[in-house]
Amino acid sequence: MSNSILITGGAGFIGSHLADEMLRAGCRVRALDSLIAQVHERGERPGYLDDDVELIVGDVRDADCVRRALDGVDAVVHLAARVGVGQSMYDIAEYTSVNGEGTATLLQVLLDHPVKQLVVASSMSVYGEGLYADAGGRLVDAAERTREQLERGEWDPVDADGRPLAPLPTPEDKPPSLSSIYALGKFDQERMCLLFGSAYGVPVTALRFFNVYGPRQALSNPYTGVLAIFAGRLLNERAPLIYEDGRQRRDFVSVYDVARACRQSLERPDRAGRTLNIGSGESVSVLEIADELAAVMGREQIAAQVTGKYRVGDIRNCFADIARAGDAIGYRPQVARSEGMAELADWLAGEVATDRVDDAAAELAARGLTV
């Protein structure tokens, strides 16, 4: 494995945990991060970032900054991105610039500063709806919901005859269905990196993260992971807001498992050149996860509010088939959800969150992005 690692977005939630993982593995770790206010409210080095991590504050779109960050580096884990399906649908230029141009800038600079390996963070969002089976057991990889269907409150995908489809674990060979600007950008990132690796002989692995949770999430960011958004509401004694009927299913994976997956990818350059799902391999409804979070936080009395509304870009069901990651890099999730949720609650007990969810919801509504 490489000895010197650059993590773009390395001062963030996943990046800082990956930094810890790589330091434990004996690597030198450098982080490049712009410390944007939406994630880092005070715009300064976060206290949770290990002192042994060298932090370069700068924008991944700044080629000169990227050159400095790459000096003496053996491998790169590219996490830097704007994150948020809803926000991406109206902050289009910013998401396209950071996620697309930022990745292109990194690859352009890598032409003159070659590294031994590159790992890029992709997302389950590239799938759109996950894999389904129809009543006859046939696989359906293009289940779509029409706006008219959603306006009637008919949330579940159906076949051509109106019969319900059964959600299944989604494998990497399920064709993409890009239902948001964010999803489009993540697919763009992974394909650019894989094409670059193929052309220049660099081992590249794209990891499609599912719903990552754990300590250090940006609780005041209304477009971060759903568990962090729910936690921010509960910390302020307010009900989590749930779209549709709350029965949509997701795959929640611990940030510690995600960090291990990144390290394992770096340890197996011989298995590069592919995309891998990184999830828990289990599914849970959004309403169930909200209730679980309230329980471990001691706020069972605050029931989630099911809005019955729909956000443009949202999907109904998607959870991971993780068999390929197991075969390729030996990935096996180690953190049970009960364990991860309990640790999250312990961390939340010492945190303060500014609740901006209502503002975000109003912004989406004003732009016609909620039904």
Q: Return the domain boundaries, the chain.
A: 4-366
Round to the nearest angstrom and report the end-to-end CA distance of the chain. 49
Q: Per residue in 237-274, pLDDT tens?
A: 999 999 999 999 999 999 999 999 999 999 999 999 99
**pTM, to two decimals:** 0.96
Least confident of 103-117, 139-153, 182-196: 139-153
Q: Which of 52, 115, 59 is nearest to 266 (CA)?
A: 115
Q: Per residue in 323-352, pLDDT tens?
A: 999 999 999 999 999 999 999 999 999 888
Cα separation, 251 vs 364, whole angstroms: 25
- Look at domain 4-366 and name its CATH class: alpha beta
Cα separation, 336 vs 284, whole angstroms: 13
The 3-class secondary structure across 93-143, one letter per residue, is HHHHHHHHHHHHHHHHHHCCCCCCEEEEEEEHHHHCCCCEECCCCCEECCC
Cα separation, 38 vs 351, whole angstroms: 17
Q: Which residues are marked as active site?
A: 182
Cα separation, 282 vs 275, whole angstroms: 19
Instruction: Please compute the mean of the pLDDT values over residues 362-370 and round it to a whole number.
Output: 84
Average pLDDT, the chain: 95
User: What band does 367 get if pLDDT is binned at 50, 70 and 90?
Assistant: confident
